[in-house]
Amino acid sequence: MSSLQKINVIATQIFGLIILVLIFVSISVHTAISANRLSLVIGNSNYQHTSPLRNPANDADLIGSKLSEIGFDVLASKEISLSATRQVISEFAGKIRDVGEDAIVLFYYAGHGIQYNGKNFIVPVDANLQSVTDIILQGVDTSFILKIIELSGAKTNVVVLDACRNNPFPAVSRSVTKGLARMDSPSGSFIAYSIAPGAVALDGNGKNSPYTSALAEYITDPDLTLEAVFKKVRRKVYYDTEKAQTTWESTSLIDEVYLVERSDNAAKGAKIAVPNSTQNVHEGNFWNQIRNKGDAELFQTYLQMFPNENIAKLRWHKYLVLKMQPRRSNR
């Protein structure tokens, strides 16, 4: 083998090793992000023993895609029976068992829901509710799901229920209460309903429900906290339904929570609008926005835009840039 051939072989091996390393790093980063944000999404439309619903399966598709877009590991199921519901909840419990303390665990459900004896039950597509016993045996108690999420140890637990439609099973109409019941939210939990407790939500006329449509619009906004997202959802649903539907939340959150994963730099630089030119830009206003951010790129932008400003500001910039540079070893 010639020297040139040997060099080509070595180069090929090195290139292959680099590709493997990049793949490993990519997988590791993806795993880290996914493990920090986990969700279970269920949508039931095609009920076997009552009239089908138009929106829930579409709603589950929409919310699942939005959650994936913002870094969630999404376990999604549609049109599932009671046994399949139990299976997917068990799978979800396994996935969230070892999440970190700073994780966000989210459960979203769209479909029929029934309130009985102060508890809320999601209804699988094969449920045939003819008695109170059927509600207990064929429905899935949402407080059970919340308890599983709570046991994960995640700092933030989110439950979203777009499930407050009219009771579709006349045989149990005297036993159930209109709408859904308000659930207690354990510490670090956020529970969202598409309608206030005891009321009935609207399906709307489109592909998705008014509630899920609004949620999908705001859930990917990196500048909105979790609570701010649902406040905007409430406003949009209220006016989109001509004031007929008011959403509801129950929360015990202590800290601000962002559904969209934010880097430290993004958090520091949030809402800092960098001008394209000095036209109509007041130097003092821009300086006051960036002076305490510790962002070298913002300071460099300032210097380029206002090169003849106060020398003290230039010295302050130089100090911050030097401070952020890594120290050189004396070895």
pLDDT digits (tens, 9 = 90+) for 123-150: 999 999 999 999 999 999 999 999 999 9
Choose between 206 and 192: higher pLDDT: 192
The domain total for the chain is: 2
Q: Is 166 helix (H, G, I), strand (E, B) or coil?
A: coil
Within-domain flag for 314: yes
Within-domain flag for 22: no
Q: Which of 156-160, 199-203, 268-272 has the lowest mean pLDDT?
A: 268-272
Q: Which of 12-21, 202-211, 219-228, 271-280 has the lowest mean pLDDT?
A: 12-21
What's the predicted TM-score (pTM) here?
A: 0.71
The pLDDT of residue 280 is above 70? no
Tell whether 219 and 74 lie within a shared domain: yes
Beta-sheet pairing, 248-251 with 189-193? antiparallel
The pLDDT value recorded for residue 112 is: 93
Q: Which of 96-100, 109-113, 119-123, 256-260 has the lowest mean pLDDT?
A: 96-100
Tell whether 88 and 213 lie within a shared domain: yes
Q: What is the mean pLDDT of residues 155-179?
A: 84
CATH code of the domain covering residue 197: 3.40.50.1460
Burial of 314 (0-12, 13-18, 19+ CB in 10 A): middle
Within-domain flag for 210: yes
Q: What is the mean pLDDT of residues 165-178?
A: 78
Within-domain flag for 26: no
Q: Provide the residue range defining the domain that includes 276.
A: 264-324
Q: What is the mean pLDDT of residues 40-46?
A: 97
Tell whether 243 and 298 lie within a shared domain: no
Tell whether 65 and 196 lie within a shared domain: yes
CB 135 within 8 A of CB 114: yes
Within-domain flag for 11: no
Tell whether 68 and 92 lie within a shared domain: yes
Tell whether 318 and 197 lie within a shared domain: no
